[in-house]
Amino acid sequence: MAGKILSLKCVNCGEIYKPDENLNFCKRCGSILEFQLNYDYISSKLSKDRLKLRDFNMWRYWELIPIEDKSYIISLGEGGTPLIKSRRIGKLMGLKNLYFKLDFLNPTGSFKDRGASAAASRALELKVSAMVGFSTGNAGVAQAAYSAAAGIKSIVFVPKSASLEKIASMMIYGTKVFVVDGTFDDAGRIARKVASRMGWMYNGGVINPIRQEGKKTLAFEVCEQLNWSPPDWYIQSVGVGTAAIGAYKGFRELLFFGWISKIPRIACVQAEGCAPMAKAFKTGSSRIIPVNNPKTIASAIAVGNPAGWPLLRKAVIESDGLIEAVSDEAILDAYKKLAKLEGIYAEPAGAAPLALTVKLRDQGLLDKDDVVVCVISGIGLKDTGVTLKMVGKPINIPVDVDEALKVLSSNRF
């Protein structure tokens, strides 16, 4: 391959590899890899005026995604999700410019579709016959859908805590799902060994470098939707951290091209019951202490030993951002408020950015005029067990309009 992709580069020791290798880890030190792109070449092909002529989905930025041949692109229409201004919550919080990026409106109901589309496309370009992933749910569903669209085999290992809705969603696409009697990290170790022995693509979060390249389109879209004026705060829930890492890279690329004037402060949120990165950030440590038994209602971000920590730490520090943990109670409060006050049905992990916004407001870190973007990453339908526990039972009545009116006129309504 030749053109916009220069190489794969180790994030630790700097070792360089050819871009057409199906490779996830440095052969010298074992660290993860990143794509190095030819920005001079890309800048000669891409402009704001050209973007205006294209459909609004993530592949409108295809020059910045490491796929050399367009014919290999596998798309289900991912990206191009709405960025809406808060109608009620922002006013209640005293924030004039609170926005929600509705990335749960992707084809499989989560922001993971961006990475899955890029990964399936690269698998085809590299002529890889199968992808092996590990997931708490959303990434596995996305991999399943895009593998089906690409016509390649898909295997996903999930921890025993994964929701049945997400497991069933993977299986309907024809993916082989293995439920590991252990944690997310246990599932990842098995997936890595299977992929290595079979010669298949290992599709685990930031460990597969193409996935952050797909997810960086979140940054492109947010800035374009704000008329190329970047937000002051970009708030994202993180398990491994792939999306926030990708977004930071996307913001840096836009700054390099001169399309935006600054990089937003990247604020990442974890649940208190599984917050290894938040704790490491608070103590200034470059190493995390793994969480062996995650306990949180936000299962989508319950990752005890996230491989993305080195890159996420760099992104947060360089953007003058932060990583904070919030309680399950705060997440559930945000979950309810999004639904009742904004009409947004997020899964718990998708509501966590709002919970962090509340915390930052209470700490005095947000100015009333700050432009704040919360990424709503997954749809509530992916985890209806939480919803059923919260809403109670519907009102049963006989076939009698008077009974309905009686209830409506009472204090129960």
Handedness of CA 330, 336, 339, 345 (dihedral sign): positive
pLDDT at 389: 87
| C-alpha span between 320 and 143 (Å, rounded) | 33
What are the domain boundaries of the chain? 1-45, 83-108+211-390
pLDDT band with cut points at 50, 70 and 90 for residue 2: low
pLDDT at 152 over 60: yes
258-311 per-position pLDDT tens digit: 999 999 999 999 999 999 999 999 999 999 999 998 999 998 899 999 989 999
- Percent of the chain residues past pLDDT 90, beyond the cut: 85
What's the pLDDT score for residue 412? Answer: 58
Of 134, 161, 149, 166, residue with least CA distance to 72: 149
Question: Per-residue pLDDT for 397 more than 90?
Answer: no
The reported pLDDT for the residue numbered 48 is 94
Interval 325-364: pLDDT, tens: 999 999 999 999 999 999 999 999 999 999 999 999 999 9
pLDDT of residue 67: 96
Compute the distance between CA of residue 276 and CA of residue 296 in angstroms, rounded to an integer.
Answer: 13
Return the DSSP state at 102: E
Task: Give the SS3 label for residue 172.
Answer: helix
Q: What is the pTM of this model?
A: 0.94
Give per-residue pLDDT as tens, 27-36. Answer: 999 999 999 9
CATH of 83-108+211-390, one of 3.40.50.1100, 3.50.50.60, 3.40.50.1000, 3.30.470.10: 3.40.50.1100
| Closest of 321, 318, 308, 362 to residue 234, by C-alpha | 321
What are the DSSP E strand ranges found in 316-406? 322-326, 371-376
